[in-house]
Amino acid sequence: MYFIIMRSICFGLIGSVIFIISACNSSVFKKGINEGVIHYNITYIKGDKDNPIIEILPEKTTIKFKNNSSCAQFKGFLGFFETTYISNFSKKTNSCLFKALDKKIHLETKFNEPSLGLDDLPNLKLQKTNDTKIIAGYKCKRVFASYGEAQKDTFSIYYTDDILIYNPNWNNPFKEIQGVLMEFRGGMMKIQMKCIASKVEEVKIADSEFQVPAGYKNVSREEFEKILNNLMKNN
């Protein structure tokens, strides 16, 4: 069982995701919201159902945001592991925190440095369209994405400009999209998933949400990846 937990920790890195992101009348949209919580539903793409890890992966995640800072949190397998992405605008830093039982590690990068996140999509091309749709009460713009050697793998991305988060896609393959993602696809370790925002709450968020908690060990990227790999090999 512990082996399964450690295998599934890698999917906490999706909380990228998940580098990302009530209902209202279709002609009236909230604009300029800069503090609150985005709730996402996660579904797993057909073809991955035979992977036993799917059964213990979460179906929901959240992103808290305030004054251009954001905090995405991913909890898995009954809370045994937790991965958090913090983008601190005032410090111009991005942090990836991982906690599993007695292990607590922290990797910090600057805004212009690469960070851990979703798998890269080879030869990714993004094409803006004039299409729009309403997601969680927000008017969202559609981007057509294609990737792979022949550009045959395709999907749609929807984002909104009406949620104010600086550099919202710093830890995912869609960095050139400046808006907050409300519907998108991503994956890790060959497991593909689709995330769709279900609700956006305009609520007060404590400043402490964007600070690294005490007790985490600062490590390099190499150390971070080595620790995860060792945990998986030993369990």
How does pLDDT run across 192-234, given as a tens digit for each residue?
889 999 999 999 999 999 999 999 999 998 998 887 767 655 5
Q: What's the farthest any 2 CA atoms get from each other in the chain? A: 55
Show the low-confidence residues of the chain (pLDDT under 70).
1-31, 46-56, 76-80, 115, 117-118, 188-190, 229, 231-235
Range of the domain at 14: 2-233
Taking the C-alpha atoms of residue 145 and residue 128, their distance in angstroms, rounded to an integer, is 9
pTM of the model: 0.79
What tokens appear for 104 in the block? 């607590």
CATH value at residue 79? 2.50.20
Q: In the Cβ-directed half-sphere of 131, how many Cα atoms lie within 13 Å?
A: 10
Assigned token pair, 74 = 């991913």
Please write the tens of the pLDDT for every residue from 114-128: 767 667 788 899 999
* SS3 label, residue 20: coil
Q: How many domains does the chain have?
A: 1
